[in-house]
Every structure is written in structure tokens, then in C-alpha cells.
Amino acid sequence: MFDGYDSCSEDTSSSSSSEESEEEVAPLPSNLPIIKNNGQVYTYPDGKSGMATCEMCGMVGVRDAFYSKTKRFCSVSCSRSYSSNSKKASILARLQVTGKPPTKKAKVLQKQPLVAKLAAYAQYQATLQNQAKTKAAAVSMEGFSWGNYINSNSFIAAPVTCFKHAPMGTCWGDISENVRVEVPNTDCSLPTKVFWIAGIVKLAGYNALLRYEGFENDPGLDFWCNVCGSDIHPVGWCAASGKPLVPPRTIQHKYTNWKAFLVKRLTGAKTLPPDFSQKVTESMQYPFKPCMRVEVVDKRHLCRTRVAVVESVIGGRLRLVYEESEDRTDDFWCHMHSPLIHPIGWSRSIGHRFKRSDITKKQDGHFDTPPHLFAKVKEVDQSGEWFKEGMKLEAIDPLNLSTICVATIRKVLADGFLMIGIDGSEAADGSDWFCYHATSPSIFPVGFCEINMIELTPPRGYTKLPFKWFDYLRETGSIAAPVKLFNKDVPNHGFRVGMKLEAVDLMEPRLICVATVTRIIHRLLRIHFDGWEEEYDQWVDCESPDLYPVGWCQLTGYQLQPPASQSSRESQSGSSKQKKKAKSQQYKGHKKMTTLQLKEELIDGEDYSFLQGASDQESNGSASFYIKQEP
């Protein structure tokens, strides 16, 4: 691991190769200890480091990956679009405002229909608005730092290995505390970019708290860095790349022989794999591309799907625009592995309701997404005992994800899919039914909430309280769905109560927020959005693609919503509370019966052995209803 330093020389007089001599290098002070490769001091292409915001689309990303000399745009297309819009706006302004003589280009534009002029000007205005929104978002995030947030409160973050769908989720390896890396030396006044070795003191998702070698137990210059970022490298990278290793100015006089110090400190130490950067890049390649067509749930009518087109892809998250949206604003956000999106033709194949598009033919450039790119569901055998219409169960309400409600199977579709309605809240035409697969972790057998000490939301308007399943089944003439038909698998997910993460607000899926795991029931996680009331909590599966490690937003350039302050909660929660008003006024449950009482009241003949020995353990699950999977 340390072989890369065998060639290091302390002689500063060595000459560079013929190719390297063409590169201008700022002189380094002769009295500064520097470890070089064969005595040659290399410069690093100086570019303003940090994050940048695209002035066209508003996307936030790593500045070095941006285009144009000034790093103002995230892509070539944004640069060209911005340039085009700016020219049009300038011409229109000259024509309509300044009264200056029009140029030749302005005369050409003047001949265009008024609609085209207005469209160009409107697009320019939209660009300005997007810039304003981006600046406002940046201001709101200015005071938030994951590192400070975790340090000041001694929080623990969920490890990257908990998120199999996230970059490096399946190949994180044994990256842990005490791993050594090479990073830029910020405690240095040199005009060139130099590096030094640091050790990981603490891990929080993708973020690592680093301490420069030589500081021992002194945390004075500790700093947070994204392990998957472009400025972090395995030990030996500087030697192989010809980059200088310079000790921090604060401790540069602490040792006289820094090379010997490093050899001693690094012998036997762990570092990042040599191909770590390559793996990061590969894990951030996504098969979904703009212009792909998919079928996605209609956000206004959950009972049906619509055709949508991929507008953009950020970190595997898709911004889908419904095909009939002329102004491209009617959109929907989800992950590419979301159960809410399907290949074209899926609805017809299983008998699901589908809204036909008024567009008679595909728009130019749009094409159907290959079916193999979508998440696969587990195959089920519907030939034997199976779910039937009218059967009762418990289900997470997709319109109020903080509640698990009394529900009914309204229609059995092909390939194991079910249409489900929330009792007491259904529209007469079934427009609020929703589709879950039989193996979905969002549906549960009768009694699940009772045994796991979760509040079960009874049907709206049901007056016989406290709610009892036995009485309700008898009054409605219904039967409970057989327990054996539900998903019993519990993966060894690794989540623990109190862990921090970044989570999608599924009631506003374009937002990703700072969040905490507050409860674990087998594979079910209770996600709390920091700074918000518990009524906004959401039940989410441990393998949901809507959960991400700390640092995911920074890595992918997505906007992270910081914990809400009291003032922002009061100003932003108005509309959300109106949406939840009807739900929140429902009866929230009753005191829990004992397991014995519940067993006595459930219908005879059904196997409820999963209730035996169950308790409200905040763990991966111990009830025999579930099967624990070993890693």
C-alpha cells in the first residue's frame, strides 16, 4: 500500500521531464517540507473548488464539472440555451423598451409572430425566476452543515451499506474509521494546490470527519469531506500522479523528517481501494435517459396511470413530465426503481386503469423505455389460495403516509397486483383506489398494528369505538386476507433508531429533507423530518429507493432541505395542514388489547400464530410472522 512512496525524494533540485517542463509551476518556498515524486513539483489545474449553480436550469453541482470558462452551466445544452435566450431577450428589450435603432438580427426577430416574441421573453423571465429560486434555496441552506449538525448533537448516520440503490451502496467495502486518504492541504499559503494525508475520525454516510496526520489528538483542524468527492484519494495517489505532499503549516516544524514519520504512521494502515474513484463513477451511471417514455401513477387520480416523459435524471431520481403537459410544468418526481413507474403497455397487460393521451403519436425524440430497466417484482402463484375482492387488511395510506388504515381489496389484477381502498374514505367511482403488489411491504394482515403497538386508523365515520377487528369483520360480513399471503421477509437492513439520513418527502416528492429513523418494526421504518411535527412522519420500507445516505444530495448535486425552523414551519405548513385536515381529525386509535384478547376476538379458523411472542421491539423483528434473512 505504501510502495508509492519508495520513490519519494527529499532532493528539491531534480529536473522535470521534457513534457512536464512546458507547464508553468509557481515556486515553492525552499524551507517548506515537501514530499515529491522523483523530486518534481507538479501544479494542479487551478479551478475554483466547491459547488456551483447552473444559471439556466438551476441545478446545483460540483463546479469543476460545469461548462464554460466561468463554470456557469451544468451542460453544453444549458450554455447554448442561456446564450440564445439572452440574445432574444436583449433584442426584444431594444425593440420594445429602449427605442434604440434595431440591429439586423432584431429586424429578423421583429418579423416573427408576436406569439414567438412573447414565448422567447417568457422563457427568459422563467430563467430569471429559476435563478432567484436557486439563490433563495442556497440562502436557506447556507446555515446548514451536516458535519456541524452531527458533531454538535452527537448524532449517528445510517451507513451507506443500508442503501443498496444508492451509489456505492453494494460496494462500499470496509471503509471505516482510521482509514487513511490523501486530500488537499487547506492549511497552506502556497499558490499551488498541494496535498497531505488524513485519517477518518468519524463516518456519517458518505461524509467523513478527517484529521491531518501529525495532529495526533488535536481536533483543531478537523474537517468534513465527502468520501466520494473528487478531492479525496487513496494513499499513494500523489506519488503516482506527481502531486506534492506538504504538511500543514500549523505543524510543519513538528518533525524534521516527514517522510520517515509517514512511513511509520502508514505502515499497515488501510486506505481506499485503488479503483475507488472508478467505482464511484460507474455507480453513478444511470440507464434512464431524457426523452424516455414510461407509465406512471396519475398524481391526481391514484387509481390510474398516465404516460410521462423523463425530463431529467439526478442521482437516479427522475423528473417525469406528463406527456400532455404543454408547458412542461405538470411533473412528478420518483426514483428509477420506484414501484410507481412501469414500461409502456404495463397497465393494459395487468388490467390497470389508464388515462389515454390526447397526443396521437410520439413526439419527436421520445421513445419507450426498455422494459428490462424497471424494478422487478417477485413472481407469485395466483392459482391456489389467493387474495379476493372484499378481503380486509391493513395498509399504509398513500395520501397520508403517517397512518396505517383499515383497508379493503377492491380488485385483483394480473401478475400479483391489487387495487386497494381505504375504508370510509373511498370515492364513489373508486378514483382514490391505489395499486400495491401482493409482496408490497406497505400492506399487512389484520392485527399487524395491534401486535406491534402501532395506532390503526379506523374507517372515517365509524362510531363503534374503540375499534375491534372482530366486530368490524362481523358487521361488514367480510373476511380477513390470509396471513400466509403477505410478505414475511425481513432483510438485515442495518438501520437503528436515531440514525440520520436524507429522505424524500413523499407528500411533496421533489423535496429531499434531513430526517431521522424514529422507530423500526421489522422492515418498516418510521421516518421523522427534523424540525417538523410528528404528524408529518412517514412509514417507509427499509429498502425504499426514497431513502439516501447523509451526503447524497451533495454528491449528486440535488438540493437538500435543512431542518425546519419554527418560523418556516408556520409559514410552510399551511397548505400541507389543509390537505391533512380531514385525515388528522379522524380517530387515531385506542388503547391496545393484549395479544390474548386479540386472538380471542379474531375469526376462528385463521392462522394467527404470528402473534405468539410478539412485542414492540425496536429491532429488525422477532415475531414468527417474519422470516429473518441473513446477509
What was the pLDDT predicted at 357? 76
Residue 379 in this model has a pLDDT that exceeds 70? yes
* Confidence tier at 54 by pLDDT (50, 70, 90): confident
* Confidence tier at 629 by pLDDT (50, 70, 90): very low
Residue 42 in this model has a pLDDT that exceeds 90? no
In this predicted model, what pLDDT tens digit does every residue of 22-40 receive, in sequence order? 334 444 444 455 554 433 3
**Separation in Å, CA 26 to CA 107, 241, 335:** 51, 18, 47
How far is the C-alpha of 247 from the C-alpha of 260, rounded, in Å? 13
* Confidence tier at 232 by pLDDT (50, 70, 90): very high
Half-sphere exposure (Cβ direction) of 218: Cα atoms closer than 13 Å:
9
What are the residue ranges of helices labelled H in 585-622?
A: 595-601
Q: Which of 9-18, 101-110, 181-190 has the lowest mean pLDDT?
A: 9-18
**Averaged pLDDT, 297-308:** 94
In this predicted model, what pLDDT tens digit does every residue of 243-252 receive, in sequence order? 999 999 999 9
Strands 301-314 and 353-354: parallel
DSSP, res 228: T
622 compared with 179, residue with greater pLDDT? 179
In terms of Cα–Cα distance, which of 577, 597, 332 is closest to 466? 597
What was the pLDDT predicted at 70? 76
- The answer to whether 103 touches 30, Cβ cutoff 8 Å, is no
Burial of 385: CB neighbours in 10 Å, binned 0-12, 13-18, 19+: exposed
In this predicted model, what pLDDT tens digit does every residue of 206-230 receive, in sequence order? 999 999 999 999 999 999 999 999 9
In this predicted model, what pLDDT tens digit does every residue of 276-285 receive, in sequence order? 999 999 999 9
- The answer to whether 590 touches 467, Cβ cutoff 8 Å, is yes
In terms of Cα–Cα distance, which of 288, 363, 354 is closest to 325? 363
481-495 core/surface letters (b: 16 or more CB in 10 A; e: else): bbbebbbbebbebeb
Name the average pLDDT for the chain.
79
How far is the C-alpha of 629 from the C-alpha of 631, rounded, in Å? 6
What was the pLDDT predicted at 86? 59
In this predicted model, what pLDDT tens digit does every residue of 558-567 receive, in sequence order? 999 999 875 4
Q: Which cell goes with 307?
A: 404516460
Q: Which residue has the cell 392485527?
A: 447
What was the pLDDT predicted at 116? 52
Share of the chain above pLDDT 70, in %: 68
**Averaged pLDDT, 183-204:** 94
Which amino acid, residue 116?
A: A
Q: What is the CA radius of gyration of the chain?
A: 29
How far is the C-alpha of 228 from the C-alpha of 226, rounded, in Å? 5
What was the pLDDT predicted at 575? 47
In this predicted model, what pLDDT tens digit does every residue of 408-444 receive, in sequence order? 999 999 999 999 999 998 888 888 999 999 999 999 9
